[in-house]
Homo-oligomer: A and B are copies of this chain.
Amino acid sequence: MKYNEAKDTFIQAWGTLGSSWGISRSMAQVHALLLISPDSLSAEEIMEDLKISRGNANMNIRDLIDWGLVFKEQVPGERKEFFYAEKDIWKVAKQIIKERRKREIEPILTLLEELKKVDGTKTDKKHKAFIDTVTNLESVVDKADFALTRAIKLDENALVGVLFKLFK
A interface list, Cβ under 8 A from B: 1-3, 5-7, 9-10, 13, 17, 19-22, 35-39, 87-90, 93, 104, 108, 111, 114-115, 117-120, 124-130, 132-134, 136-137, 139-140, 143-144, 146-147, 150-151, 153-154, 156-160, 162-164, 166-167
A136 contacts B1, C-beta separation under 8 Å: no
Copies of chain A in the complex: 2
Given contacts A3-B118, A38-B125, A162-B162, 11 further A-B contacts (CB under 8 A): A1-B119, A3-B124, A3-B126, A3-B127, A6-B115, A36-B129, A36-B134, A88-B136, A93-B140, A147-B159, A162-B163
A115-B9, A118-B3 known; A38+B126 contact, CB < 8 A: yes
Distance to closest chain B CB from A112 (angstroms): 9
In the complex, what residues of B have CB within 8 A of residue A114's CB?
1
Give the dominant DSSP class at A's interface.
Answer: helix
